[in-house]
Amino acid sequence: MTRTKIKLILLSLIMFIPCSFAQQRVHMEDVINIALTNNDKIKQYNEKLKQKEFQDLESWGNFLPVVNITGSYNHMNDPIMMDLEPIRQAMITLQASNQVEFANVYNIIQKNAPLTDAARAQYYKTFFGQLDSKLPKFQSTLKKQDYKSASFTAVQPIFMGGKLLAAKNYSQDEKLSADIELTQIKNEITAEATTNYLNVVFLLDLVKTRENVLADVLKHRDKAKRLFAEGVIANYNVLRAEVAVSEAERNLLADKNKLKVAYLALKTTLGMELSENVSVEDTLVYTPMQDSLLNLEKTASVKQPVLQLISLKKDAAKQKFNVERSNFLPTIAAFGKYELYPQYLSMLEPRWIVGVQASFNIFNGFKDYSKLQAASHLEKEVQYIELDAQRKINLLVNKNYSDVIDSRDRYEKTNSSISLAKENLRLNEKRFESGLGTSLEVIDAQLSLEKANIDSKNAVYDYYKALVQLYQSTGEPETVLSIWKVKGN
């Protein structure tokens, strides 16, 4: 191996090593796309949809003829025979008697004397033997003891009372239901991925806030130590600052642990191994929602998968009613049969046959009537289920919309609180540096500012979470992404 090749290999390894340990940086859109691609439940419902597509294709086969080929080798205990020997014997007997009478008449004409009984018997025996030898046996083999059989059979439905069309419509509804169920699962995964991403972003902002508070408390502690060394303040102020530092460090550590758990939840949603590295670099920024409650209610009535599924179930109940009604109508079908071994057929069996068959049930104990009434009440039941679901979806949209408005109002009110807390902290720091204020006052002001900042982040976080729930209830959870992107722009 040449030195040039060795250098190229080493250079490739050096370039590969940093990439293998690099973190995968994701944004909200990436999180949603990866989750929709890797989620096992979505793959499960994709397979279910494919099953329903083939079952729908199968339902078309009910309208086409059914053609079968059947074959067999058979052995019977005895061949099937047709024996007409008694008729043959009767014919020979009658003919022999006639011949005797003709001989008797002829003898009378020739000799003027009738035949004696002995002569009659001799003549009868002679004529019977001649006829028996010349006339073949009246016996025929209709089917041999061993025979083969093979035939084509075809049945073409002509009229089944609407049952076939109802079955086709039902299979179509099942395919559409599977498609809507897949959409529903995608909506759930989208909402889950979005919520987990928001959890991470919120905790990232919270950790940054805690870090800023800790940095400010550390600066205050250093100032307190310096002023104590100069004899401006008492040692109590230094101790109070140390306590504030400990509390800030404890809060920061707790939120960092929560952030680790949030990352684990995010990786689980993305279908990643928990040992894989992923990073988020984003922040919570408020972006107003433009949709009105009326538009959201209209969207939910059209796009909500639950309502779409119930609508299809209502149509399926209608098809079941059509199936039960078909039992009161006749069924008509054409059929045909063709034998492949004519040499094994008896003289009573045709080689081919075609025809039309019709059947109509007259009475079966009122079972068909009971089934028809049950199907009718099932239709009404599904109608009431649909009305109840529409009301509940409408209530859910209104509730989630109220949560969004409440979170928005809380966020807008925190802006003035933050400004006031900042001014309060500035004044107390000035008073503390001049020796007129205490460390407790400065710490309280810092905690007030921290609380105002966290309340603001909480309000924005609750706002986006409520948006996720709102648009999930309307059937369009991906709309949150478009609102989020406005913040990015």
CA distance between the termini of the chain:
53
CA triple 454-455-460, angle to 5 deg: 95
Q: Do the Cβ atoms of 24 and 279 come closer than 8 Å?
A: yes
The mean predicted confidence, pLDDT, of the chain is 85
Share of the chain above pLDDT 70, in %: 93
For residues 299-326, give the mean pLDDT.
92
The band of 15, judged by pLDDT with boundaries at 50, 70 and 90, is very low
CA distances (Å), 343 to each of 75, 143, 150, 273, 370, in order?
A: 16, 10, 11, 72, 52
Q: How far apart are CA 107 and CA 154, in angstroms?
A: 70
Kindly tell me if the per-residue pLDDT of 9 is higher than 60: no
Q: What are 125-154's pLDDT values in tens digits?
A: 887 888 878 877 777 777 888 888 899 999
Instruction: Evaluate if residue 227 carries a pLDDT over 80.
Output: no
pLDDT (0 to 100) of residue 18: 40
Domain residue ranges in the chain: 21-69+161-330+365-488, 85-137
Which residues, 6+ apart, have CB-to-CB distance to 77 below 8 Å? Answer: 145
Domain covering 21-69+161-330+365-488: architecture? Up-down Bundle (1.20)
- Band the pLDDT of 176: cuts 50, 70, 90: very high
Give me the pLDDT at residue 12, please.
Answer: 45
> Mean per-residue pLDDT for 80-109?
80
Mean per-residue pLDDT, 56-69: 90
Structure tokens belonging to residue 388: 């109840």
User: What pLDDT is attached to residue 144?
Assistant: 83
When pLDDT is cut at 50, 70 and 90, the band that residue 8 belongs to is very low
Amino acid type, 144: K
Please compute the mean of the pLDDT values over residues 390-402 and round it to a whole number: 95
* pLDDT for res 112: 64
469 Cβ neighbours under 8 A, 6+ residues apart = 191, 400, 403
* pLDDT, greater one: 270 or 14: 270
Closest CA to 154 of 357, 301, 382, 313: 357
Q: What is the pLDDT of residue 23?
A: 62
What mean pLDDT comes out for the span 221-242? 80
Residue 19 has pLDDT above 50, yes or no: no
Which residue type does 416 have?
Answer: S
Mean pLDDT of 12-16: 41
The model carries a pTM of 0.76
Give the pLDDT score at 440: 77
Question: pLDDT tens digits, residue range 430-488?
Answer: 887 777 777 778 788 888 888 888 888 999 999 999 999 999 999 999 999 999 988 64
What pLDDT score does 179 carry?
94
Q: Which pLDDT belongs to residue 449?
A: 84
